[in-house]
Amino acid sequence: MTPITAEILLFEGFDELDAVGPYEVFDYGREAGAPLETSFVTLEPTDLVRASHGMRVEPDGTLGDPDLLVVPGGGWASEDGGVRRAISETRLPAAVADAHARSATVASVCTGAMILADAGILEGRPATTHHTALEDLAEYTETVDQRVVDDGDILTAGGVTSGIDLALWLLEREFDADVADSAAEVLEHERQGTVHR
């Protein structure tokens, strides 16, 4: 199995489960034998990042050159929420576009897809997001009403808990089904939906 570095990109107002769900899945995959190193990162050095429900997370460092970059959502329903603010400040979408240009596989959870759309990397690709943002996403690309959409080097997941299914699919795709099944068993999670490819 080829080693993979995964970075989950945090920003003020991200949704907790969008980030923590995949992190935990990946860590159980590592425990099951996948050579996978996962970390929480930010664009700039910071001691803490506050999530949308008030949880504070201490990041491991700043965005590097990962094989896999996971972008959570959060705050799309608010005029000044996490994703909306991140898009208006422009730096986060630009960093995502740059990581993709440097050959990172980019995956989004929930309204993190809106950051990918603003980064310009969803054009002409099927994608999904939280059901409340599907109309907004349709202004950028073809939307698919599926839990997980895999378009090779870009993957998107629907709302919140679908990030767990996204991460389990990535374990299966990049390593093998046994690794994914082991992680799902520890989590007592029944995988939902089908992966649109």
- Ordered domains of the chain (ranges, CATH): 4-196 (3.40.50.880)
Report pLDDT for 78.
82
Lookup: tokens for 193? 């939906």
Amino acid at 135: E
pLDDT (tens digit, 9 = 90+) per residue, 20-51?
A: 999 999 999 999 999 999 999 999 999 999 99
pTM to 2 decimals?
A: 0.97
How far apart (Å, rounded) are the C-alpha atoms in residues 83 and 117?
A: 12
Q: Of these residues, 95, 110, 121, 183, which one is catalytic?
A: 110
The answer to whether residues 150 and 113 touch, using CB atoms and an 8 Å cutoff, is no
118 is an active site residue:
no
pLDDT (tens digit, 9 = 90+) per residue, 180-193?
A: 999 999 999 999 88
pLDDT (tens digit, 9 = 90+) per residue, 88-147?
A: 999 999 999 999 999 999 999 999 999 999 999 999 999 999 999 999 999 999 999 899
Report pLDDT for 167.
98
How far apart (Å, rounded) are the C-alpha atoms in residues 150 and 171?
A: 13
